[in-house]
Amino acid sequence: MSRVIGIDLGTTNSCVAVLENGQPTVISNAGGYKTTPSMFAITQDGKRLVGHLAKRQAITNSKHTVYACKRLIGRRFDAPEVQKSIDLSPYDIVRGPNDDPRIEIGGKAFTCPEVSATILREMKRVAEEYLGEPVSEAVITVPAYFNDTQRQCTKDAGKIAGLEVLRIINEPTAAALAYGFNRPGEERVAVYDLGGGTFDISILEMSDGVLEVLATSGDTFLGGEDFDRRVVQHLLDTFRESEGIDLRADPMALQRLKDAAEKAKCDLSAREQTEVNLPFIASGDDGPRHLSIEISRDTLERLVEDVVSATLKTVEVCVKDSGLQPGDIDQVVLVGGQTRMPLVQSKVAEYFGRRAHKGVNPDEVVAVGAAIQAESLLSDEDSVLLLDVTPLSLGIATFGGHFARLIERNTTVPVRKGHIFTTTRDNQSAVKIRVLQGEADAAAENDLLGEFVLTGIRPARKGEPEIDVSFDIDANGIVSVSARDLATGKEQSITVNATGTLSDEEIQQIIEDQELYEVALKEGEE
């Protein structure tokens, strides 16, 4: 029987794990690293690079090196998060035909699932090399806060990479699975995950093989990169003050600064003081200028304190949603590279009144949980019962631009819920069902997942027809909606397919293109 792998497809780094004889193994890549940068690049001579190879050349080829694609996946081009990415990214983000953001490299516009697929394929390859056999199935994790479109796009990415995605599970849930693996008894656990680009918090209850998520929340646009940016600003300001030179207009200098800022930030997790040295960063009237700036841990903490506080505001909301008090939590599990920062650890400890659990590796725990889930999907014995929740409320737009919630956030999935709606005009023969996800009372402020029209409603006075609208959320968190006219029995349904997700034909086309490309590469290398 072939093996199912668990993949943590991170914004910044990805990780793959598998269960061997009941024990999880995190698989190292050829370079010996257990995590692989989620980066994709095309070189001047057309070579495609993924992971460490892509990262290594990012400074000199920044325009053709894609990172943090996960911040774009499943969003509409006009979404504020995408616009923010356009301002921040050295690579080009363009509007795709489905109003989705696409990444343009060397004249070709890649969809986000396509870019993510390059990383998934690399993780698949790493696993195959280790296992010595082909792998075709995987469990992939996503932030709990991902909406329906983002989940579907992640599934598409799996397909493009040649993987059947058996299940999409939430990263914090995966982390809790890994933490609770072979741990008897009853515990309430908070998982605080601060990665490079996203922040997630979940409160879970575990008791002998049942893992129930009580509440989840997060921010898909907050992470270690925000910390880096604060440090870059600080370096830019300090350099301008001392040298009178503004480096903001120099893309190459900015790339080097960004790299150095991240290194300094990581250094300061272990040391009180560090120095950023960037020789030949600019040239003045009297020759080259070098940047050399000391940063202390105190300075770093001052620069990012509000970012850390923002995560704790979200934690507060989540704990409240779970119906618990901070003191009710038995264990705090920290996930994500950014939680290595002492300030993050102390703020979280202060809030919960306890120090975090030390037994898990914050970089690997999500992939381990995905591998555990993969195994339990294969075998019925000993399998864990996972009761996850939907992170965002679901409903439809009603007359006057209101949002009618059918499923509240933090409802356990899978779930099916229905509600009867009616017409607003006499003899109205059709209704348009606009499916929304979000927390705002005004329909327009929520995410539109998709829309469809139910036609053939029997002529009647307004308010008389009974239209049963039901929502289904499956175990992957993927939504389908149906509407039925109770009088005629006529039904319309959709698996919600918002702009940005790819059709089966498009996916097939991308797979074929890839194959073409692979052939071209072999010829080129001869």
Q: Which of 24, 90, 337, 465 lies at the binding interface for ligand ADP (CB under 6 A)?
A: 337
Segment interacting with ligand ADP, rule: CB under 6 A, options 122-130, 202-210, 258-266, 411-419: 258-266
Q: Which of 195, 197, 218, 391 lies at the binding interface for Mg ion (CB under 5 A)?
A: 195
Segment interacting with ligand ADP, rule: CB under 6 A, options 9-17, 40-48, 244-252, 436-444: 9-17
- Catalytic residue, candidates 114, 171, 200, 447: 171
Cβ at position 167, least distance to Mg ion in Å: 17
Segment interacting with ligand ADP, rule: CB under 6 A, options 45-53, 154-162, 264-272, 276-284: 264-272
Helix (H) or strand (E) holding 494: strand 491-495
* Residue 197, binding choice from Mg ion, ligand ADP, none, Cβ under 5 to 8 Å by partner class: ligand ADP
515 noted as active-site residue: no
Output the residue with the shortest Cβ distance to Mg ion. 195
Residues of this chain, 178-207, that bind ligand ADP according to CB under 6 A: 195-198
In terms of CB distance, is 172 or 195 closer to ligand ADP?
195
How many residues are listed for the chain in this entry? 526
Cα–Cα distance between 213 and 227 in angstroms, integer?
A: 29
# binding residues, ligand ADP (CB under 6 A): 21
Asked if 231 touches ligand ADP (CB under 6 A), the answer is no
- Catalytic residue, candidates 8, 226, 262, 447: 8
* Residue 154, binding choice from ligand ADP, Mg ion, none, Cβ under 5 to 8 Å by partner class: none
Give Cα 327 to chain centroid, integer Å. Answer: 29
- Catalytic residue, candidates 55, 70, 155, 258: 70
Buried-state track 122-136, b at ≥16 Cβ within 10 A, e below 16:
bbbbbbbebbeeebe
Closest to 499 in 3D by CA, of 163, 104, 111: 111
Check residue 355 and report its DSSP letter.
P
- Give me the residue label for tokens 């005004």: 442
Q: Which of 265, 347, 405, 409 lies at the binding interface for ligand ADP (CB under 6 A)?
A: 265
**Do 416 and 422 touch, CB atoms closer than 8 A?**
no
Residues of this chain, 347-386, that bind ligand ADP according to CB under 6 A: 363
**Do 57 and 44 touch, CB atoms closer than 8 A?**
no
- Catalytic residue, candidates 100, 148, 193, 200: 193
Q: How many Cβ atoms from other residues are within 10 Å of residue 42's Cβ?
A: 18
Q: Are strands 101-105 and 108-111 parallel, antiparallel or unpaired?
A: antiparallel
Q: Which of 338, 373, 410, 446 lies at the binding interface for ligand ADP (CB under 6 A)?
A: 338
Q: Are strands 331-335 and 415-421 parallel, antiparallel or unpaired?
A: unpaired
* Residue 224, binding choice from ligand ADP, Mg ion, none, Cβ under 5 to 8 Å by partner class: ligand ADP
8 noted as active-site residue: yes
Residue partners of 160: CB distance under 8 A and separation at least 6: 113, 114, 117, 120, 507, 510, 511, 514
Residue partners of 146: CB distance under 8 A and separation at least 6: 74, 154, 170, 220, 391, 477
Q: How many Cβ atoms from other residues are within 10 Å of residue 198's Cβ?
A: 28
Cα–Cα distance between 338 and 195 in angstroms, integer?
A: 6
Closest to 258 in 3D by CA, of 3, 88, 463, 372: 88
193 noted as active-site residue: yes
Q: How many Cβ atoms from other residues are within 10 Å of residue 448's Cβ?
A: 18
* Residue 51, binding choice from ligand ADP, Mg ion, none, Cβ under 5 to 8 Å by partner class: none
In terms of CB distance, is 338 or 480 closer to ligand ADP?
338
In terms of CB distance, is 341 or 433 closer to ligand ADP?
341
212 noted as active-site residue: no
* Residue 19, binding choice from Mg ion, ligand ADP, none, Cβ under 5 to 8 Å by partner class: none
* Residue 395, binding choice from Mg ion, ligand ADP, none, Cβ under 5 to 8 Å by partner class: none
| Site for Mg ion, rule CB under 5 A | 10, 195
Q: Which residues bind ligand ADP (CB under 6 A)?
A: 10-13, 195-198, 223-225, 262, 265-266, 269, 336-338, 340-341, 363
Catalytic residues: 8, 70, 171, 193
